[in-house]
């Protein structure tokens, strides 16, 4: 891996901006030319410092020999900023829906993210392994997920008709490994991780790397002899994750989350705060509580005092009024006085869920309360079958299915409901008298008006991108797959597991969502493809080109990752590209400045520009790089 002169020539492609990678047929001839060109242009230096700088190619990277096809126009199929900018900056190219090629500079970003992941995982005591992406079905059948996981699991057969899948996650493989290798509590705790290519046949891939089908994930798995030790392993990972995202310069939040199909007792998601995020999260303004809205707990409302009217519910005609808003305004009552009745089909049978008209049902809470594999809102047809009326007129009075009520219903002393009859509602319906739910529970979505479930403080809502997720798995997999060890008393104990994921490409995409402006990406330096862009304003001007070359070489010698725009392009194009690709520091050499013995340093983020004497240029740029790196301290 050391002597890579020739490989570099090959890998860097050639040429001008906007080069469309398709012309692979041109490669061979080009290589030969380059081999020669490199002699006098590349000028090998023997003492290439490995210090500080990134990995991969060492030495000054020249635009004319690098494949970084930038585009002025946005491809029409890119919706979110990160996707658009990744395409425009030449970081990725699409191969199929949700499947991408990482271009040279895009790969550099991924490698930087990976490097931080490795450093922090190692630091936290985890060991790196690499599992296969092709996994035999037996393991998945053993855990029960072969049937439970659904179509996202891409399955296929080999020539001998044996079933396999492309691993979307690796609990089964790692548990199989550990049960074979671990005998004693003395070998614990154990934490193994990998950075590997995953495949999930997503129902709807979208947003570029944000939700691809093939993607790189860092996944770690911890094994402990008991719950207390497992909790400690979980805590360590939680801390490592905080360090990781701080080092990437990201504004993030760790929130309580639903465990979904991975399972386990509890989990936290690491959310990068961004308006374009797919998840909504709440956080307390006064304490540390934060949660995904899917998970956020709602305090039970106080039961209303008994002001219930005597007698029975009254049926009234409400022609064409189906929605809460329509009915409430028609009856001239607050939506909160309506008892909303939603019918669900679930793996445990049909269920009616009641919630105050001022609230929304949280399907995940319903699913978890029932312990169901799936729940879904009943289709119009099914609603008719159950209630005898079109949707919009369902009510709990006289319903023949299981009825679950949210705590908010308890607060309604006397409310209005559907009459299970077209164009009719019931007034003066009293919970407990006119119908009796099979149970009360927290089944609704939080709102801005809800107090923090921990301290009673106010809740704030924001949107986030889930870049990491840590789970306390408990014994879900170890029990199903009999992963055990002997404790000090010689007794067999089921291993207690945890699992911890981070999406590599997704993290890079999230960084862009959070760090960009109208001109392009503004990379945090810790994950930028390059640290400094050197731009000679006019390559045909000998002194300018020579000064640029010197600065580039000097920075490289100091271990800085330099991108040298040696194209014979107009300055405007180079500036636009430098901004677009988001290199944190820009060094500009212009004719007048160079003639006067000066160069310029510009901060991509602030736009702040300083005029510096040529002999000090490299040093100043280095200082700026160091300063930015320091800002990404853990």
Which one, 356 or 581, has the nearer CB to RNA? Answer: 581
Please, which of residues 506-545 interact with RNA by CB under 7 A? 506, 519, 537-538, 540-541
Judged by CB, which is closer to RNA: 215, or 523? 215
570 lies in the site for RNA, by CB under 7 A: yes
22 binds RNA (CB under 7 A): yes
**Minimum CB distance to RNA smaller for 595 or for 633:** 595
Largest CA distance in the chain: 99
In total, the chain counts a number of residues equal to 634
* 264 lies in the binding site for RNA (CB under 7 A): no
To which residue do tokens 């993030």 refer? 252
By CB under 7 A, the residues from 67 to 106 that bind RNA are: 70-77, 79, 88, 94, 96-98
Site mask, RNA, residues 573-592, x = CB under 7 A? x-xxxxxx-------xxxxx
SS3 482: coil
- Residue 54's nearest CA partner among 9, 1, 108 is 108
Q: Which is nearer to RNA, 363 or 561 (CB)?
A: 363
The encoded tokens of residue 226 equal 């008991």
CB distance 48 to 59 below 8 Å: yes
The sign one gets for the Cα dihedral 566, 567, 571, 576 is negative
Give the whole-angstrom CA distance, residue 568 versus residue 238: 49
The stretch among 30-38, 64-72, 324-332, 446-454 that binds RNA (CB under 7 A) is 64-72
- For RNA, give the closer residue by CB, 256 or 577: 577
Q: How far apart are CA 459 and CA 395, in angstroms?
A: 32
- Closer CB to RNA, residue 468 or residue 559? 468
Closest distance between RNA and the C-beta of residue 445, in Å?
11
Rounded CA-CA distance 494/482 in Å is 7
Q: Cis bond leading into 189, ω under 30°?
A: yes
Residue 467 binds RNA, judged by CB under 7 A:
yes
The count of residues interacting with RNA (CB under 7 A) is 81
CA 338 – CA 358 distance, rounded (Å): 8
Least distance in angstroms from the C-beta of 205 to RNA: 6
Nearer CB in complex with RNA: 119/603:
603
- Choose between 301 and 507: whose C-beta lies nearer to RNA: 507
Site for RNA in 369-408 (CB under 7 A): 376
Q: Does 278 interact with RNA (rule: CB under 7 A)? A: yes
Sketch the per residue contact string, 323 through 362, with RNA: x for CB under 7 A, - otherwise: ----------------------------------------
Report the site for RNA in 205-234 (rule: CB under 7 A): 205-207, 211-213, 215, 217
- The least CB distance from residue 466 to RNA, in Å, is 5
Q: CA 377 to CA 350: how far, in whole Å? A: 10
Q: Which of 198, 175, 183, 181 has the alpha carbon at shortest distance from 473? A: 175
Candidates 12, 17, 547, 628: give the one binding RNA (CB under 7 A): 17
State both tokens at 474: 């408990």
Q: Which of 503, 524, 529, 584 binds RNA (CB under 7 A)?
A: 503
Within 10 angstroms of residue 51's Cβ, the number of other Cβ atoms is: 9
Cβ distance to RNA smaller for residue 188 or 537: 537
- 502 touching RNA, by CB under 7 A: yes
Burial of 317: CB neighbours in 10 Å, binned 0-12, 13-18, 19+: exposed
Spatial separation of the C-alpha atoms in residues 545 and 198, rounded to whole Å: 45
């Amino acid at each position: 891996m050391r002597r890579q002169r020739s490989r570099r020539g090959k890998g860097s492609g050639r040429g001008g901006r906007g080069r469309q990678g398709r012309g692979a047929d041109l490669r061979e001839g080009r290589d030969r030319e380059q081999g020669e060109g490199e002699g006098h242009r590349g000028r090998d230096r023997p003492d290439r410092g490995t210090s500080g700088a990134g990995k991969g190619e060492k030495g000054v990277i020249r635009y004319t020999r690098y494949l970084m096809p930038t585009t002025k126009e946005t491809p029409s199929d890119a919706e979110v900023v990160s996707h658009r900018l990744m395409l425009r900056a030449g970081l990725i190219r699409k191969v199929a829906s949700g499947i991408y090629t990482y271009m040279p500079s895009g790969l550099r970003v991924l490698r930087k993210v990976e490097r931080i992941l490795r450093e922090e995982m190692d630091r936290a005591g985890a060991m790196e392994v690499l599992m296969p992406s092709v996994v035999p079905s037996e393991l998945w059948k053993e855990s029960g997920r072969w049937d439970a996981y659904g179509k996202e699991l891409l399955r296929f057969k080999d020539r001998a008709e044996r079933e396999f899948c492309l691993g979307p996650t690796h609990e089964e493989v790692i548990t199989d490994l550990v049960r074979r290798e671990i005998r004693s509590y003395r070998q614990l705790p154990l934490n193994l991780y990998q950075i590997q290519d995953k495949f999930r046949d997503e129902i709807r891939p979208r947003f570029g790397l944000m939700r691809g089908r093939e993607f790189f994930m860092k996944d770690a798995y911890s094994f402990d002899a008991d719950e207390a030790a497992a909790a400690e392993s979980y805590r360590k990972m939680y801390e490592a994750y905080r360090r990781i995202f701080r080092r990437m310069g990201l504004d993030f939040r760790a929130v309580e989350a639903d465990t979904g199909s991975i399972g386990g007792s509890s989990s936290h998601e690491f959310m990068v705060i961004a308006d374009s995020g797919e998840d909504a999260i709440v956080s307390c303004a006064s304490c540390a509580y934060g949660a995904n809205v899917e998970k956020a707990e709602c305090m039970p409302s106080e039961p209303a005092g008994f002001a219930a009217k005597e007698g029975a519910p009254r049926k009234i005609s409400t022609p064409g009024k189906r929605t809460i808003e329509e009915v409430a305004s028609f009856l001239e009552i607050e939506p909160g006085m309506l008892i909303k009745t939603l019918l669900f089909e679930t793996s445990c049978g049909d269920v009616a869920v009641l919630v105050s008209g001022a609230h929304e049902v949280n399907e995940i809470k319903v699913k978890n309360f029932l312990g169901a594999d799936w729940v879904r809102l009943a289709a119009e047809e099914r609603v008719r079958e159950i209630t005898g009326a079109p949707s919009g007129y369902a009510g709990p009075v006289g319903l023949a299915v299981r009825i679950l009520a949210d705590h908010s219903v308890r607060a309604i002393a006397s409310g209005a409901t559907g009459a299970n009859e077209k164009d009719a509602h019931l007034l003066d319906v009293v919970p407990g008298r006119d119908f009796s739910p099979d149970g009360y529970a927290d089944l609704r979505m939080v709102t801005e008006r809800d107090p923090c479930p921990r301290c009673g403080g106010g809740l704030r809502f924001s949107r986030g991108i889930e870049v990491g997720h840590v789970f306390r798995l408990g014994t879900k997999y170890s029990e199903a797959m009999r992963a055990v060890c002997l404790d000090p008393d010689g007794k067999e104990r089921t291993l207690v597991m945890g699992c911890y994921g981070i999406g590599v490409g997704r993290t890079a995409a999230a960084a862009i969502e959070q760090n960009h402006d109208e001109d392009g990406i503004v990379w945090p330096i810790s994950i930028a493809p390059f640290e400094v862009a050197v731009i000679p304003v006019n390559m045909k001007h000998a002194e300018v080109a020579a000064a640029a070359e010197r600065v580039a070489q000097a920075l490289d010698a100091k271990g800085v990752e330099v991108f040298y725009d040696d194209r014979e392009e107009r300055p405007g194009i180079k500036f636009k590209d430098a901004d677009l690709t988001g290199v944190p520091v820009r060094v500009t050499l212009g004719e007048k400045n160079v003639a006067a013995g000066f160069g310029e340093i510009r901060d991509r983020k602030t736009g702040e520009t300083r005029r510096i004497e040529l002999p000090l240029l490299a040093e100043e740029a280095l200082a700026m790089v160091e300063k930015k790196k320091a800002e990404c301290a853990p």
